[in-house]
């Protein structure tokens, strides 16, 4: 089914905000056979909204998803404009206003009278519930086009898509697309492409797409013909098995947490160049306290020595960014935290601090578990944040591979 | 002057690629008084391109900037479609073909015959030079609307904007725009709006926009009239001063690192619920090793006791998520890392672990510096990742306020 996205708000046009919502929506509607045929960003004026709705409705699309402009301030005019557009008379919703007041109170704020505008509900249209924010969504229909209105706040938009809009798209679609995504890390896109080329040539009815980022390549396989879909997936999996870590949107830290839980092993982190990022990623996973004991962010040499028992002579002889230091950090943190596994990072994140012998992007990752102590060396050569991020990815992947 | 952007290519609609070009263009045209009034992403079909050009040209904009679809392969149809649209007859450009062949040779490739499509030049329209890629741009005019066509490759698009299109916009526009952005945290959008309402009403010629996220609200002020701009900025600043932390794109962690450097004070972090996120954010700032000593991610109670000297009796009596534990963690980490300041977080990130007395989102942040020891209590009630993120934001803001 054909879908257009309208994102409403000047912040998307004046260079203040990057629109990440549209990409997310495009990915999510795909398995339900939804196809984004166009997306447009417009300012929050009623005339722009009306013109754009008319333009898209004239193209007889199946659905238009609008986001943004549902907040409480003067430039949030989406709801009012839609009420007028659909000749609807909104009703003040006393029950919802009561709930809103309670929510604000719980958070320690007095509610502003401005928020009253968010307590109206349509008479003709339907409400789309929002369980984590104040702005509820709207659902109208004109000719054969469903018009959906959601807040622009990503967390709220995503939850409302998942609970209401995606199931609606599923109901409305007549055909389905078979679809699967494989996440890989540790191999460049071009090598992956070469490995999969025979498969791509053999099954032309199947679409194999590569979605590369600097952390890895996601492979998306989709087909409108169900025949052979499992067979192709099995063949593809055998080719990418060494690099594959998860399906769909599952993050590497979730896979690692699951493997640690399954094997009943605990871990501790000794982070220098990643500065806490591995701990942060692991603790993004709920329930991780059973397997993650914690860690030390050993940003200074003295703390590597004091807290992780790295030998002073090791640092003076080999430097803080060295195989030897990484090794002692991994052993030290495992002992200090009484965990099963210790993992460590030390490297030069940049943009300063690089030398000819130790360039920016040089990273050592130490792994220690019982009698296994290994250090892995990398040369990432990216910017500071990306060097940190890819180091955390490599460290998590090292843990994953050891646990398999 | 009013400008629309058309980005051409299926990869922008199927969730494979994030459109970062548009945000960059929007930022760059602003000082030249360029205003992006709409931006649209469409698939690479001639009908979509023609419909969209007609739609925007009917709105009598000053300029339309199209990007993408100028490559050498079969799905690159932008140039051909534009030639047809403007009834232009392209001419094969022998000189350019000769240059292209030479460029390929220099890089060690044979040129493909496919690239011949890139060696045509318009008869009616003008060429926009591309000094770092093969695809040159196009410039047409219809009624009063300039139509610009650029490659989608960010580096090429940016260079061609800088060398040709931005100067053109400068020549065409008669006025310039003053603008400034203020970042705030710790106050909801509606309260900020109420505080600024008198200013908004008084200076209607100035545009004051609110860009909220769950971490804070950015306020953007812009005006086409230079008169009074400084005066309004001064007045606005006085109103928001308590919540203001930076201008433009500067992050809170950069402000904190700067203040620590300026005051010559060092800091250490004791993180429970944030799991390393504060350390991660601080170490995103280059040169932070002078003021950030490191930290402990004390995810288990035992480690709070062993590494941060939290008393066992404190945890058993008040719990790990308590004012008392936060306090002892902040003191403990400052002592352990021999830093000037200690900051701590302990809380319930969710989605599990909440109780009636200690609900999800309950967070204590401890701050310790010399004789000052303070604990701040929050109720965030968001999802796990957002609770972690907003806790790190609150902690950094606490440090910032103490340093002022």
- CB–CB contact A38 B20 (8 Å): no
Q: Where residue A227 falls among pLDDT bands split at 50, 70, 90?
A: confident
DSSP secondary structure string for all residues of B4-33: EEEEE-GGGTTTS----HHHHHHHHHGGGT
Please state the rounded mean pLDDT for residues A317-332.
Answer: 98
pLDDT for residue B396 is more than 90: yes
> What's the pLDDT at B336?
96
SS3 (DSSP) at B284: coil
> What's the pLDDT at B114?
79
| Six token digits for residue B104 | 């390929």
Percent of chain B with pLDDT over 90: 72
> What's the pLDDT at B81?
97
pLDDT for residue A225 is more than 90: no
| Six token digits for residue A310 | 């790295």
Vertex B60 angle, CA B58 and B61, to 5° = 120
Question: How many angstroms separate the first and last alpha carbons of chain B?
Answer: 42
Residues in B 190-229 with any Cβ partner in A closer than 8 A: 190-191, 193-194, 200, 209-214, 218, 220, 222
Instruction: Say how far apart CA B207 and CA B209 lie, in whole Å.
Output: 6
SS3 (DSSP) at B259: helix
Instruction: Say how far apart CA B145 and CA B335 lie, in whole Å.
Output: 67
Those residues with Cβ within 8 angstroms of residue B399's Cβ, 6 or more apart along the chain or in another chain: B256, B259, B260, B267, B341, B343, B367
Please state the rounded mean pLDDT for residues B135-162.
Answer: 93
> What's the pLDDT at A365?
98
Chain B interface disruption, residue of A6, A108, A299, most B CBs within 10 A: A299
Please state the rounded mean pLDDT for residues B267-293.
Answer: 97
pLDDT for residue A337 is more than 90: yes
| pLDDT (tens digit per residue) in A244-270 | 999 977 999 999 999 999 999 999 999
Strands B292-298 and B267-271: parallel
Interface check B346 vs A, CB under 8 A: no
* β-pair partners for B389: none
Report the residue from A28, A279, A350 with minimal CB separation from B276. A279
Report the residue from B48, B188, B351 with minimal CB separation from A286. B351
Long-range pairs for B198-206 at CB < 8 Å and ≥24 separation?
Answer: B199/B232, B199/B235, B199/B236, B199/B239, B200/A74, B203/B228, B203/B232, B206/B232
> What's the pLDDT at A322?
97
| pLDDT (tens digit per residue) in A99-152 | 999 888 887 778 888 888 899 999 999 999 999 888 999 999 998 999 999 999
Interface check A295 vs B, CB under 8 A: yes
> What's the pLDDT at A182?
94
E strand or H helix at A210: strand A207-213
- CB–CB contact A283 B294 (8 Å): no
> What's the pLDDT at A18?
86
- CB–CB contact A297 B269 (8 Å): yes
| pLDDT (tens digit per residue) in B329-371 | 999 999 999 999 999 999 999 999 899 999 999 999 999 999 9
Quote the distance between the C-alpha of residue B206 and its chain's center. Answer: 23
Give A162's DSSP letter. I
Residues in B 162-181 with any Cβ partner in A closer than 8 A: 181
Interface check A106 vs B, CB under 8 A: yes
User: What count of CB pairs under 8 Å joins A to B?
Assistant: 261
* β-pair partners for B217: B184, B212
Instruction: Say how far apart CA B294 and CA B278 lie, in whole Å.
Output: 10
DSSP secondary structure string for all residues of B124-189: SSEEE--SSSS--EEEEEETTEEEEEE-SSHHHHHHHIIIIIHHHHHHH-S---EEEEEEE-SS-H
pLDDT for residue A85 is more than 80: yes
Instruction: Say how far apart CA B369 and CA B378 lie, in whole Å.
Output: 21
Vertex A18 angle, CA B379 and A82, to 5° = 80
Of the candidates B380, B391, B214, B275, the residue with the CA atom closest to the CA atom of residue A281: B275
Q: How far is A18 from chain B (nearest CA, A)?
A: 6
Q: Where residue B224 falls among pLDDT bands split at 50, 70, 90?
A: confident
> What's the pLDDT at A224?
78
Those residues with Cβ within 8 angstroms of residue A296's Cβ, 6 or more apart along the chain or in another chain: A269, A270, A271, A303, A307, A308, A333, A336, B294, B295, B296, B297, B307
Partners of B13 on chain A (C-beta within 8 Å) are 26, 35-39
Q: How far is A300 from chain B (nearest CA, A)?
A: 6
Please state the rounded mean pLDDT for residues A361-377.
Answer: 97
The complex's ipTM?
0.80
Of the candidates B288, B287, A315, the residue with the CA atom closest to the CA atom of residue B279: B288
> What's the pLDDT at B93?
95
Percent of chain A with pLDDT over 70: 100
pLDDT for residue A389 is more than 90: yes
Please state the rounded mean pLDDT for residues A223-235.
Answer: 85
Instruction: Say how far apart CA A64 and CA A60 lie, in whole Å.
Output: 10
pLDDT for residue B231 is more than 80: yes
| Sign of the C-alpha dihedral computed for residues A68, B153, A188 and A276 taken in this order | negative
pLDDT for residue B266 is more than 80: yes
pLDDT for residue B154 is more than 90: no
Q: Where residue B276 falls among pLDDT bands split at 50, 70, 90?
A: very high
Those residues with Cβ within 8 angstroms of residue A350's Cβ, 6 or more apart along the chain or in another chain: A360, A361, A383, A384, A387, B286
| Sign of the C-alpha dihedral computed for residues B49, B51, B52 and B58 taken in this order | positive
B-chain residue closest to A44, CA distance: B37
Those residues with Cβ within 8 angstroms of residue A142's Cβ, 6 or more apart along the chain or in another chain: A57, A86
Q: Which domains does chain A have, with CATH numbers?
A: 2-172 (3.40.980.10), 178-247 (3.30.70.2860), 252-403 (3.90.950.20)
> What's the pLDDT at B170?
87
Interface check A102 vs B, CB under 8 A: no
Those residues with Cβ within 8 angstroms of residue A28's Cβ, 6 or more apart along the chain or in another chain: A161, A162, A166, B15
Q: What is the average pLDDT score of chain B?
A: 92
> What's the pLDDT at B17?
79
Instruction: Say how far apart CA A298 and CA A321 lie, in whole Å.
Output: 12
> What's the pLDDT at A110?
82
> What's the pLDDT at B211?
80
| pLDDT (tens digit per residue) in B79-135 | 999 999 999 999 999 999 999 888 888 777 778 787 888 999 999 999 999 988 889
* β-pair partners for A306: none
């Amino acid at each position: 089914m054909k879908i257009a996205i309208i994102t409403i708000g000047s912040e998307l046009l004046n260079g203040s905000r990057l629109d990440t919502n549209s990409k997310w929506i495009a990915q999510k509607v795909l398995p339900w056979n939804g196809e984004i045929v166009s997306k447009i960003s417009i300012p929050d004026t009623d005339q722009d909204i009306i013109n754009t709705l008319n333009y898209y409705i004239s193209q007889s699309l199946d659905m238009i998803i609008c986001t943004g402009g549902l907040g409480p301030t003067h430039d949030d005019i989406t709801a009012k404009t839609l009420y007028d557009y659909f000749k609807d008379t909104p009703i003040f919703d006393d029950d919802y206003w009561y709930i809103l007041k309670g929510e604000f109170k719980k958070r320690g704020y007095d509610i502003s009278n401005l928020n009253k505008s968010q307590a109206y509900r349509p008479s003709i249209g339907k409400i789309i519930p929002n369980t984590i924010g104040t702005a509820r969504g709207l659902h109208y229909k004109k000719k054969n086009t469903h018009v959906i209105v959601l807040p622009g706040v990503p967390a709220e938009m995503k939850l409302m898509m998942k609970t209401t809009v995606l199931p609606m798209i599923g109901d409305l679609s007549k055909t389905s697309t078979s679809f699967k995504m494989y996440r890989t890390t540790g191999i460049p896109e071009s090598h992956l492409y070469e490995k999969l080329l025979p498969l791509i040539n053999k099954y032309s009815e199947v679409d194999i797409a590569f979605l590369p980022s600097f952390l890895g390549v996601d492979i998306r396989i989709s087909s409108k013909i169900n025949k052979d879909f499992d067979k192709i997936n099995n063949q593809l999996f055998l080719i990418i098995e060494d690099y594959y870590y998860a399906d769909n949107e599952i993050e590497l830290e979730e896979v690692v947490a699951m493997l640690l839980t399954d094997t009943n092993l605990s871990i501790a982190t000794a982070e220098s160049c990643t500065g806490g990022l591995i701990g942060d990623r692991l603790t993004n996973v709920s329930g991780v306290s059973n397997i993650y004991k914690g860690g030390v962010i050993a940003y200074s040499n003295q703390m590597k020595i004091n807290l992780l028992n790295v030998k002073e002579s090791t640092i003076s002889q080999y430097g803080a960014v060295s195989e030897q230091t990484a090794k002692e950090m991994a052993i030290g943190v495992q002992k200090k935290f009484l965990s099963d596994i210790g993992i460590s990072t030390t490297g030069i994140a940049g943009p300063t601090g690089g030398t000819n012998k130790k360039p920016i992007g040089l990273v050592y990752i130490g792994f220690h578990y019982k009698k296994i102590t290994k250090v892995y060396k990398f040369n990432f050569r990216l910017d500071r944040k990306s060097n940190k991020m890819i180091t955390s990815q490599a460290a998590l992947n090292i843990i994953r591979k050891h646990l398999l």
